[in-house]
C-alpha cells in the first residue's frame, strides 16, 4: 500500500475526552441483556448474563475478552444481527431492542473484521460510497451517483492519502484488503452515525496496515466526535485507543476502566486484574489476546 508513512493522525489530546460517568444523556443504554444459545438443550450456553452497557455521547469504548466471552453477541444485540432474549437496547432515546438489522442502520455505522465484507467487489468506489451516503434513506429512482456527490467522495478519499481519489470509477475488487477496509471505515462515517461499531476491524490485516487503519479510525472518530464501540482481541490496542476499556468474561462485564484509570494501564496490569476479577481462577486468556 502506498503512502503508509505519510498518513497523519491528529494527537488525541487536541480533543477533550467526554466526562466519564457524569453526563446525563447516554447515547447507548443497553440494560440487562440476556442471550442464550441452544436454550433448553444440553449444549445451552449463556452468552450474555444481564449485561448493562451505557455509553456517553462522543465516547470511544474498547471491549476486550477472550473467545466466547460474549463480545460478538453483545455487538450483535446492538447491531441487530441477533436479538436478546431479555433486556432492552436504547440508542439515542429510541428503543431499538427488536428493530430489524436494516432499520437500525439508519443510526449505526459498522466496520467488519473481514476487510472484504464492507464493500461490494463488483461495484466501483464511487458506487460503494454512494450506497453508504444513502444509509437509512429511501432509495427511489433518482440517479445512483450524482456529480456533486463525486466531488464529495473525491474530497473525503483525499483525506485517506492513499491516492484513491483518482480511482473513483475503479472496481473495489481491484483494491487490497487494507484499501478496502479504509474505504469501509470512510463509508461508515460518511453520514455521521449515532453509533459506530468496529468489530475487530484490524484483526485480519497485517500489522502495518492495521496501524494505519487504527490511526484513520482515531482521526475520523475524533473529528466528528462519534460515539464508538470497538471490539478487539488485542490488549495493547485496547489500552492505546479510546476513552474507556471494558473486559467481558463469560457473558459478564468484569472490568470497566474510565479514561484516568485507562491511561495508567499496562498489559501486565490488565492481566493481573483479569486473573483477580475472573470468577473462575483456572481460566486463562487466549494466546491471540496476549500476543495481539
Partner 1 sequence: MSFYAFTGAIEQGLVYGLMTLGVFITFRVLDFPDLTVDGSLPLGAAVSAVCITGGMSPWLSLLPAMGAGFLAGMVTGILTTRLKILHLLASILTMTALYSVNIRVMGGRPNVPLITKPTVIGPVRELVSSLGINPWLASSFLFLVLVIFVVAVLIWLMRTEFGQALLATGDNPKMITSLGVNTSFTIVVGVGLSNSLVSLCGALVAQNQGTAEVSMGVGTIVAGLASIVVGETLFGGRRIVSRIISVVLGSVIYRLAIAMALSMNVFRPSDLNLITASIVVASLCLPKVKTYFRNRSYRDKNA
Q: Which residues would be at the binding site for partner 1 (CB under 8 A)?
A: 79, 100-103, 105-106, 108, 110, 112, 117-123, 127, 130-132, 134-137, 139-145, 171, 187
What is the Cα–Cα distance from 88 to 104, expressed in whole angstroms? 14
What is the Cα–Cα distance from 57 to 151, expressed in whole angstroms? 30
Of 96 and 253, which CB lies nearer to partner 1 in the complex structure? 96
Sign of the four-CA dihedral 73, 77, 79, 80: positive
We find the least distance from the C-beta atom of residue 278 to partner 1, in angstroms, to be: 33
Of 38 and 141, which CB lies nearer to partner 1 in the complex structure? 141
Q: Which of 170, 140, 177, 139 is nearest to 154 (CA)?
A: 170
Of 98 and 120, which CB lies nearer to partner 1 in the complex structure? 120
We find the least distance from the C-beta atom of residue 145 to partner 1, in angstroms, to be: 8
And the C-alpha cell for 122?
463488483
The answer to whether 237 and 62 have CB atoms below 8 angstroms apart is: yes
The answer to whether 170 and 125 have CB atoms below 8 angstroms apart is: yes
**Beta-sheet pairing, 94-95 with 108-111:** unpaired
Of 98 and 277, which CB lies nearer to partner 1 in the complex structure? 98
What is the Cα–Cα distance from 163 to 10, expressed in whole angstroms? 20
Of 18 and 109, which CB lies nearer to partner 1 in the complex structure? 109
We find the least distance from the C-beta atom of residue 136 to partner 1, in angstroms, to be: 4
We find the least distance from the C-beta atom of residue 161 to partner 1, in angstroms, to be: 24
Query: Could you tell me which residues come within 8 angstroms of residue 172 by beta carbon, excluding any fewer than 6 positions away?
Result: 119, 120, 121, 122, 123, 124, 125, 128, 180, 183
What is the Cα–Cα distance from 83 to 289, expressed in whole angstroms? 27
Q: Which of 211, 210, 151, 221 is nearest to 186 (CA)?
A: 221
**3-class SS at 225?**
coil
Of 188 and 285, which CB lies nearer to partner 1 in the complex structure? 188
Of 135 and 154, which CB lies nearer to partner 1 in the complex structure? 135
We find the least distance from the C-beta atom of residue 79 to partner 1, in angstroms, to be: 8
We find the least distance from the C-beta atom of residue 118 to partner 1, in angstroms, to be: 6
We find the least distance from the C-beta atom of residue 92 to partner 1, in angstroms, to be: 15
Amino acid at each position: 500500500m502506498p503512502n503508509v508513512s505519510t498518513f497523519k493522525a491528529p494527537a488525541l489530546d487536541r480533543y477533550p475526552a467526554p466526562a466519564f460517568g457524569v453526563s446525563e444523556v447516554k447515547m447507548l443504554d443497553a440494560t440487562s441483556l440476556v442471550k442464550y444459545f441452544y436454550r433448553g438443550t444440553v449444549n445451552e450456553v449463556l452468552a450474555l448474563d444481564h449485561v448493562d452497557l451505557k455509553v456517553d455521547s462522543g465516547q470511544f469504548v474498547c471491549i476486550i475478552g477472550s473467545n466466547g466471552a460474549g463480545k460478538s453477541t453483545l455487538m450483535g444485540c446492538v447491531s441487530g444481527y441477533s436479538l436478546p432474549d431479555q433486556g432492552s437496547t436504547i440508542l439515542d432515546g429510541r428503543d431499538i431492542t427488536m428493530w430489524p438489522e436494516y432499520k437500525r442502520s439508519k443510526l449505526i455505522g459498522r466496520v467488519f473484521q473481514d476487510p472484504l465484507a464492507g464493500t461490494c467487489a463488483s461495484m466501483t468506489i464511487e458506487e460503494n460510497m454512494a450506497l453508504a451516503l444513502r444509509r437509512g434513506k429511501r432509495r427511489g429512482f433518482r440517479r445512483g451517483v450524482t456529480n456533486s456527490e463525486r466531488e464529495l467522495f473525491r474530497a473525503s478519499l483525499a483525506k485517506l492519502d492513499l491516492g484513491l481519489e483518482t480511482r473513483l470509477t475503479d472496481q473495489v475488487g481491484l483494491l487490497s484488503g487494507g484499501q478496502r477496509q479504509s474505504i469501509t471505515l470512510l463509508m461508515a462515517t460518511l453520514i455521521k452515525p449515532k453509533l459506530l461499531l468496529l468489530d475487530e476491524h484490524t484483526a485480519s490485516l497485517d500489522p502495518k496496515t492495521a496501524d494505519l487503519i487504527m490511526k484513520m479510525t482515531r482521526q475520523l472518530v475524533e473529528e466528528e466526535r462519534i460515539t464508538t464501540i470497538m471490539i478487539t482481541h488485542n490488549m495493547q490496542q485496547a489500552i492505546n485507543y479510546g476513552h474507556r476499556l471494558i473486559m467481558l468474561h463469560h457473558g459478564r462485564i468484569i472490568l470497566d476502566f474510565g479514561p484516568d484509570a485507562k491511561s495508567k494501564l499496562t498489559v501486565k496490569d490488565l492481566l493481573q486484574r483479569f486473573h483477580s476479577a475472573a470468577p473462575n481462577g483456572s481460566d486463562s486468556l487466549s494466546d491471540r489476546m496476549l500476543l495481539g
